[in-house]
Structure 1
Amino acid sequence: MNKRSGRHWLLLRGLSREAGHWGEFLPLLQAQFPQDRIYTLDLPGTGRRHQETSPDTINAIMESVRQQALTEELLNQPLTIIGLSLGGMVAWEWSLRYPQDICAAALINSSMASLSPFYQRLRWQSYPNFFKIMMQNSDFSRELAIIRCVANRRDRDREIAMQWAEIQAERPVKLCNTVRQLKAAARYRPGKNKPDMPLILLSGRGDRLVAPTCSVAIQTEWQLQLKSHPWAGHDLTLDDSDWVVKHLKDWVEQLSMPPEIT
């Protein structure tokens, strides 16, 4: 990708989600980059770390994830991070604090409190859905409600809800950790500096959870590249993994091109 890249990818999911929720996106990404190494890590309080208590700041979540990356020896070469939503905030903070760790980053449907108001970062239209989700009395019903909130495709809802219900049954996310992650995201204000590395924003124009204008605000503030999907929702990799992989491939090829001589 660039001269520092080791072609090592690290994927970070968002609020109350874990590595298992990447689904078909992982093998598609690996197929597109067969020589690359692709890793996933869970945020504290989710996945393999579901019994831990999540910090309630993005910086502390990032430090915890980075320590896990160090422990698993993932930082021997600079990483290209893909962060979805809350994972994007963690990726941005990591890139600011430890630029030697990261050679590039892709942020999917992310947002920042310093750039967008709370009613755009969590759209007011989605508030009733949260109450409906909390009222569900089974993992399947709850995950089905989540899917119908974060994705716009309807052809695989029940199939994916069954998979996600199994994840929740095996590695349940505690409500207190969801609340702590929400608190961290709501207060995230990274300041005026931009990470000194290639960055790309991917956004779904059909996002009913976080307004697409939040990605536009990040693009405008720092003059970043933004690719917008015409209809996908918040979980862009669930709605259209092929589209995400294609744009990541185009981005990688663009970064691999020698700079123009002027």
Structure 2
Amino acid sequence: MSTSAQAAVPATHTAPWVLLRGLTREARHWGEFAALLRAVQPGAPVIALDLPGNGGLHAQRSPASVPAMAAHCRAALQAMGVAPPYRVLAMSLGAMVAVAWAHAQPRELAAAVLINTSLRPFGAFHQRLRPSQYATLLRLALTGADAAEWERSILGLTSQRRLGTAERDALLGAWTAWRRESPVSGANALRQLLAAARYRASQSRPAVPFLVLASTHDALVDPRCSRRLAQAWALPIAEHPTAGHDLPLDDGPWVARQVERFVCTLKAP
């Protein structure tokens, strides 16, 4: 389910999970993970939102700031008839949005899981986005790379998963089709990059329960960003020893298990 669907979610006593992806990615990129999350959280709706400029909202202008993205998510859920509290699971840029949301409206969030994020002031610029990837990202955003090239590059940047030829071709075929169907403009990709680069979280922790998940072999974001955030805010953290930046793709069952354990430590919302 994406924001473009505007579908109603049945009333429930269990706080829904809201899934937020990262730079230029959309709701469909969660792949099989949404089903894995439903399996460990039975009865909880799982709602994958698109940020403006991506997916079903690709024709919209991406907001120039992370707090504006958070405001969009709040408005989208309200339009769908989904009332707080929410539980948010988000990665990369989406995790920045979750933090901005927690700072602005902490009572709306029952919990948040932050995957491979890179918040100022908890990571240096060269750790928040590895310098070795600057050229690739700028080339994709500025040169009008075709959908197939874009997705091959993104898979190489974000995944450490060993895929067989058939599985890799199927995955890239789906991603390429989605990008052709819902193309992210270069201007929107740059706005998302700039919003992420400019965003600065508070030194103080919002009054929301958090879990931090990180990947030791993240080629895009240095895992020290997650470690320092967890240390500064005294948050629980789990680190995957082999996965890349797209942790739900590389090991979705591991992420689902971490979420299940985390929820068991919380009071029911």
Which residue is 2:60 aligned to?
Answer: 52
Instruction: Kindly report which structure 2 residues correspond to 1:1-262, keeping only aligned pairs within 5 A, or say none.
Output: 6-74=14-82, 76-130=83-137, 133=140, 137-155=145-163, 156-256=167-267
Give the ranges of 4+ consecutive aligned residues of structure 1 lying more than 6 Å apart after TM superposition: none
Structure-2 change in CA distance of 1:170 and 1:220 (3 Å): same
Amino acid of the structure 2 residue aligned with 1:48: G
Amino acid of the structure 1 residue aligned with 2:129: L
Amino acid of the structure 1 residue aligned with 2:247: L
CA offset at residue 129 of structure 1?
Answer: 3.1
Which residue is 1:260 aligned to?
Answer: none
Report Cα offsets for 1:129-151 as digits up to 9, x if no partner: 33564668531222012101100
State how far apart, in whole Å, the 1-side matches of 2:76 and 2:43 are.
24
Structure-2 change in CA distance of 1:234 and 1:54 (3 Å): same
TM-score (norm 1): 0.91
Report Cα offsets for 1:32-77 as digits up to 9, x if no partner: 2221111111111111111110111111111122111111122x23
Percent identity for Structure 1 against Structure 2: 37
Q: Is the 8 A contact 1:210 1:234 kept in 2?
A: yes
Q: Is the 8 A contact 1:6 1:78 kept in 2?
A: no
2:266 counterpart SS class? helix
Q: Is the 8 A contact 1:105 1:200 kept in 2?
A: yes
Q: Is the 8 A contact 1:14 1:84 kept in 2?
A: yes
CA offset at residue 244 of structure 1?
Answer: 0.3
Report Cα offsets for 1:163-215 as digits up to 9, x if no partner: 11111111111111110011010011122221112100000001000000000
Q: Is the 8 A contact 1:13 1:42 kept in 2?
A: yes
Q: How many residues align?
A: 252
State how far apart, in whole Å, the 2-side matches of 1:127 and 1:137 are.
15
Gaps of 5+ in 1: 258-262
Report Cα offsets for 1:56-104 as digits up to 9, x if no partner: 1111111122111111122x23110001100000001101111121110
- Cα RMSD for the two superposed structures: 1.7
State how far apart, in whole Å, the 2-side matches of 1:205 and 1:235 are.
12
Gaps of 5+ in 2: 1-12
1:193 counterpart SS class? coil
State how far apart, in whole Å, the 2-side matches of 1:83 and 1:171 are.
21
Q: Is the 8 A contact 1:147 1:157 kept in 2?
A: no
State how far apart, in whole Å, the 1-side matches of 2:183 and 2:76 are.
20
